[in-house]
Amino acid sequence: MAIEVTVPDIGDFTDVPVVSILVAVGDTVAEEDPLMELESDKATMEVPSPAAGKVKEIKVAEGDKVSEGTLIVVLEGEAGGAGDAPKEAPKAEAPKSEAPAAGAVPAQSTAPAPAVTDAGFGKAHASPSVRAFARQLDIDLAKINGSGRKGRILREDVTKYLKSSSAPVAAASGGAQGGMGIPPIPVVDFSKFGPVEDVEMPRIKKISGPALHRSWLNIPHVTHNDEADITELDKYRKEMDTHAKENGYRVTLLSFVIKASVSALKQHWEFNSSIHPDGDKLIKKDFYNIGFAADTPNGLMVPVIKDADRKGLVDISKELMELSKAAREGNLKSKDMQGATFTISSLGGIGGTSFTPIVNAPEVAILGLTRSKMAPVWNGEEFKPRLMQPLSLSYDHRAVDGALAARFTVTLKTLLGDMRKLMW
C-alpha cells in the first residue's frame, strides 16, 4: 500500500526550507519516526511519519521550500502493521520548489542537493540558514569544503573560512556585521592575543538572532520603567501556590502579571495592536494572546497563551507550566509560538533591577520583569516595608507615545497593587 506523506499543519508558515532529510530510500520507519526537519524563522520542526512502512520515494531535497500539503515522501505500508491504516493526510499540492512532482523520477537520498541559482553559490551543499549567513558575509560557498554529513557546509565551516580569508567582509543585517548602511564591525583575529575556541550557537539562537536584530533596527524603541507594590498580591499568591503544589502545578507571579496585562491591554488597546503595512494605520486586535519568554537549554523561546482573557489564574498557571516544560524539552509545536499580541519577559528568578526588552515585531510592546525587592515606601505618615516589583515596558514609539506608556504602566501597577481588581 502506497502512503503519500505530506507536510502537516505548520501554522501560518509557507515556503519553509527543508534543512535536513533524516531517512533514505529503502529505510524502514515506524509511526512517528522523524522523516525530515523544516526550519521557519521561529523554530525547527520535525515532520513525523504518519504510519509504519518502507521509504519508497523522497519527493524533496534539502534546501527545497515546502508548505502545508506539499508531498514529501511516499511510503510502502507494512502489511498487517500500522501502514494498513495510515493516517489521512491533506491532499498534496505541487511543491513550490524544484522538487520532483508526483510521478517523476524519485529523488534518492544520495543524490546531490539541487543546483543553487544564487550568483556565486554554485552547487554548494548547505542549509538555507548557512546560505543566508554566507550571503551576509559576501562569501562564495563554492569555495568552502563542508565538514558535515555528505559534505554539507556548516556555519562553522563558513566561520573558519572567514578567519583564514583576507577578503573584505560586506555589511550585513546580522551577526557582528553592520546593516542598513551601517559600517561593519572589523573582523579581529583574537587568536593573536590568546587561546580561543569557536563554540557553535544553539539552533534557536541562530534563528532568533536575525529576527531580534531586524526588530531592533526597524523599531524606534523606548523603555519606560516603574515599580508596582505587590505586597498583598504575593501573600495571596503564596496561599494559592501552597494549594497548587498539592494538585501538581505551581502559581507564580507571572500568572498574575498575565492577568493584569490583559486588563491593561483592554483599557489601552494600542498596546495590543500592530502597525499596518501601509504605515498609516494601526491594526486593533480584539483577542489577547500573551507570549512569555522561556529560558531553555537551547536558547530563548516564546510560547503563547491563547485567549488569555478567557482564562482564570488557575488555568493560566497550569498552561504556563505545561508550555514551559515543553519548551525546555524541545517539544513545542510551531502553533504554540504563534499569534502573540503582547509579550512578557521575566528575569525575576535570576535578578536585575531593570532592562530593555526588545519588542517582538509585529507586536508594538513587551513587558520586562526583574527581581522584586523589599523597600521602604512612604504611605503619607511613615515609611513601611513593601514588596516592590520593577516593571520595564519597551514600546514602538511609532504606535505608542510616552504619555500613553506611562498611563499603561500606572494601570498595570494599580491592578497588581490591588488583586481584587484582577477579578473584575
C-alpha cell at 51: 504510519
- Say whether 298 sits in a helix, a strand or coil: coil
User: What does the H/E/C string look like for 180-208?
Assistant: CCCCCCCCCCHHHCCCCCCCCCCHHHHHH
> 365-369 and 383-396 as β-strands: parallel, antiparallel, unpaired?
antiparallel
Q: Residues 6 or more apart from 294 whose CB is under 8 A from it? A: 300, 301, 302, 303, 323, 324, 327, 328
Is 397 designated active site? yes
CB 86 within 8 A of CB 74: no
Q: Which of 213, 221, 268, 397 is catalytic?
A: 397
User: What does the H/E/C string look like for 238-253?
Assistant: HHHHHHHHHCCCCCCH
- Distances, alpha carbon 72 to alpha carbons 13, 75, 97, in Å: 16, 10, 12
Q: Answer whether the bond into residue 362 is a cis peptide, omega within 30°.
A: yes
391: which strand partners? 226, 369
C-alpha cell at 238: 503564596
Question: Longest C-alpha distance within the chain, in Å?
Answer: 85
CB 144 within 8 A of CB 124: yes
| Residues designated catalytic | 397
